[in-house]
Amino acid sequence: MNNVNDKVEGASRFWDKDYVLGIDIGGTNTEFAVVNRRGDIVKCGSIPTCGHKDFHDYASKLKTAVDDCVAKAGVAGHVRGIGVGAPCANQYSGCIEAATDLPWPSPIPLAAVFEQMFSLPVAITNDANAAAAGEMRYGQARELKNFIMVTLGTGVGGGIVCDGHLLSGSQGFAGEIGHVVVKEDSDRLCGCGRYGCLETYCSAKGVMRTARKMLAESDEPSALRDVAPDELTPKVICECANKGDALAKRVFDFTGRVLGEACANFAAITDPDAFMLFGGVSKAGDLIALPMREALEANALHLYRNRIEILFSSLNDAEAALLGASAMAWDIE
Amino acid sequence: MNNVNDKVEGASRFWDKDYVLGIDIGGTNTEFAVVNRRGDIVKCGSIPTCGHKDFHDYASKLKTAVDDCVAKAGVAGHVRGIGVGAPCANQYSGCIEAATDLPWPSPIPLAAVFEQMFSLPVAITNDANAAAAGEMRYGQARELKNFIMVTLGTGVGGGIVCDGHLLSGSQGFAGEIGHVVVKEDSDRLCGCGRYGCLETYCSAKGVMRTARKMLAESDEPSALRDVAPDELTPKVICECANKGDALAKRVFDFTGRVLGEACANFAAITDPDAFMLFGGVSKAGDLIALPMREALEANALHLYRNRIEILFSSLNDAEAALLGASAMAWDIE
């Protein structure tokens, strides 16, 4: 009889707590939200990440703000857990490790501090894995058991879902596709200290590098020549390309081709059904996806040809990081 | 009460059947064995793969031989299931697809035919995945939740274990690391029709290619010059290297370096604790493992440095394919 009671209690506990908290820690701001099962943000808020005395001061201010948010959402006592997305977050140790963007000394024992403070289970992960988790739970990847999330932003990140499972690896560092070396003897130095990483070609900075190089290597007229070198962002290049600027178009041709060649190799490793593009550079849309598809098909082993989709993340940009972080919280055991 | 009875029956059924069958289908012979939980081969046998009227004729002769083997082992009625390793085996469809080494037209509905014939559940997989499964169940990888099996034989194959799970991917073609393109603008044509695949450098044929190239490109004296070009096998090159032949040693230096550079990239994808080498070329031992380690450390992202082991498969060569195939049978649900 005890068993039966336990089960009923367990079930009711489960149904009562149909909300999670997502927290996205960025270099500038920390955003948080109460999220329901469908992935709707019920209530959200933010505090600055910087300007606190130390990490514990930051954490306690965050606690006050989050509690207020939960109360205003009217779901106090109905929150199952907290998912946190942060740069260099290690899901196993629960720590933020060596994050150069954050104002506190590493490692930061984030999960332990938050668990104690909120009396709730906490899952932490890095940004790209959070994006993949968000896509799997709330986005168009709900039906996909095998896909690779490719985040093309300040850096290039990856979240690899294989056989329905988001890969973690030994230390939680699976999916670092931005640091796969894609060009031998490349002159592109990466932030990681090596040369020729995918990130040096397909991140926002990578695209800017390509543009500057193409401008320097020819006298071809281009609207990009009127733009200051450090304002030559993917957005600006994209606008020029969409107005018909041939050189600007070739910047994305090259970027997409490098990405497609790399993805042809990734396909041989986890046999995905789709690559899902996310982040600022992916806003170039077909400018990057078409050459990427061409290079993917031209370079993939026959087993993978003509069956891998290239998709764009369906999650709202502004909400994706928060939703992704929150998605982790549903699976805490 | 019915539930309880079912459970007891289920348990007794489970404990009664403490053997599995492993079947390894090669181009020349088909080997089979009765295997216990510890990975001991209790009884084994083989029949020729070729020389039968058709696939069904082959299958029925195999059935007779296997039944005889099971009877002699004294375990009739105590076999849980059958694991089959075969080239180009697709675990999802249960078919052998486009296997150029086998004498029957593809696809061959192997799992369906065997299941009906033996009245036992059947799991099929390709050779590299079988090797990884064998290592996980019976070998030194029992403690490893994250490793990549690298089979260096006629071809180069991979079996990727991540988070304790052998990756399959969308169509069962995860882990085809031999067909990751590792050199741009390579002149090495691969059997798959593309250029520069890892297999063109690190398979037995790849090593032979490297040897012939190095011999052609210099006048350096070498014992390898006394060997006919098609007898320049990894085994012969290894023997010469071990006798101090500098050129022979450089053949493995180069092979190991290419492998290490490739593995540095693989590390960023699934974050493994070890690469486990298997197959003929791996018999070169430290001749290949030392330059591989050097290249792995020199090329891996800092997150993966100084912590990934390079191991040699602990499974007996002659038995590995059979044991690997049998290992799949324990997990059939």
Which of chain A's residues have a Cβ under 8 Å away from the Cβ of B271? 167-176
Banded pLDDT at A154 (limits 50, 70, 90): confident
**pLDDT tens readout for residues A137-152:** 998 888 899 999 999 9
B178-217, pLDDT tens digit by residue?
Answer: 999 999 999 999 999 999 999 999 999 999 999 999 999 9
Dihedrals phi, psi of B100, to nearest 5 degrees: -75, -20
Probe site for chain B from A88, A192, A270, A297 (most B CB atoms < 10 A): A270
Size of interface A-B (CB pairs under 8 A): 126
Report the range of poorest mean pLDDT among A101-110, A165-174, B41-50, B92-101: B92-101
- A158 vs B contacts (CB less than 8 Å): 269
Count the Cβ atoms, other than its own, within 10 Å of residue A144: 19
Examine the pLDDT at B110 and tell me if it is beyond 80.
yes
Q: What is the per-residue pLDDT for A2?
A: 36
Structure confidence at residue B276 as a pLDDT band (50, 70, 90): very high
Average pLDDT of the segment spanning B139-160:
92
- Residue A43 Cα, gap to closest chain B Cα (Å): 35
Banded model confidence at residue B317, pLDDT cuts 50, 70, 90: confident
Which residue out of A192, A269, A297, A306 would a mutagenesis test of the B interface target, given it has the greatest number of B Cβ atoms within 10 Å? A269
Assess contact for A251 and A214: CB atoms under 8 A: yes
Q: Which two tokens stand for residue A23?
A: 């927290």
Chain B window 240-279: which residues touch A at a Cβ cutoff of 8 Å?
A: 261, 264-266, 268-273
Higher pLDDT, B254 or B99: B254
pLDDT at B3 over 50: no
* Distance from C-alpha of A154 to C-alpha of A190, rounded to nearest angstrom: 12
> Cβ–Cβ of B172/A264 closer than 8 Å?
no
Judged against a pLDDT cut of 60, whether residue B226 lies above it is answered with: yes
**Selection from B305, B325, B243 nearest residue B32 by Cα:** B325
Q: CA–CA separation, A7 vs B161, rounded Å?
A: 35
Which site among A263, A275, A301, A302 would you substitute to test the B interface, given the most B Cβ atoms closer than 10 Å to its Cβ? A301
Q: Is the pLDDT of residue B62 over 80?
A: yes
pLDDT at res. B270: 98
pTM score of the predicted model: 0.88
Q: Please name the residues in contact with A57: beta carbons below 8 A apart, sequence gap of 6 or more.
A: none
Q: What is the pLDDT of residue A100?
A: 67
Contact B167 A270 (CB under 8 A): yes
State both tokens at B266: 């693989």
Q: Which residue has the higher pLDDT, B8 or B127?
A: B127
DSSP A276: E
Ordered DSSP codes for B186-233 = ---B-TTS-BSBTHHHHSHHHHHHHHHHHHHH-----GGGGS-GGG--
> Does B275 score more than 60 pLDDT?
yes
pLDDT, average across residues A244-258: 98
Tell me how crowded residue A209 is: count the other CB atoms within 10 A of its CB.
17
What pLDDT is attached to residue B318? Answer: 75
pLDDT of B7 higher than 80: no
Residues of chain B with Cβ-Cβ distance to A265 below 8 Å are: 180-181, 265
Residues 28 to 67 of A: which have CB under 8 A from any B CB? none
Q: Which of residues 166-195 of A touch B (CB under 8 A)?
A: 167-177, 179-181, 183-184, 192-194
Q: Round to whole Å and give the CA distance between A51 and A330.
A: 32
* Residues 6 or more apart whose Cβ sits within 8 Å of residue B135: B141, B147, B149, B276, B278, B313, B314, B315, B324
- Calculate the average pLDDT of chain A: 91
Q: What confidence category does residue B177 fall into, taking pLDDT thresholds of 50, 70 and 90?
A: very high
- Please tell me which residue, A195 or B8, carries the higher pLDDT value: A195
Q: Among partner residues B160, B193, B301, which is closest to A179 by beta-carbon distance? A: B301
- Interface check for B137 against chain A (CB to CB < 8 A): the answer is no
Find out whether A254 and A261 touch, Cβ atoms under 8 Å: no
pLDDT of residue A96: 87
Phi first, then psi: give them for residue B324, nearest 5 degrees.
Answer: -60, -45
Q: How confident is the model at residue B16 (pLDDT cuts 50, 70, 90)?
A: low
State pLDDT tens for residues B242-254.
Answer: 999 999 999 999 9
Cβ of A268 within 8 Å of Cβ of B302? The answer is no
Integer Cα distance of A107 and B258 in angstroms: 35
Q: Please count the CA atoms within 13 angstroms of the CA of B247 that sit on its side-chain side.
A: 20
Tens digits of residue pLDDT in A2-45? 333 333 334 444 455 799 999 999 888 999 999 999 999 999 99
Q: Residue A110: is its pLDDT beyond 60?
A: yes
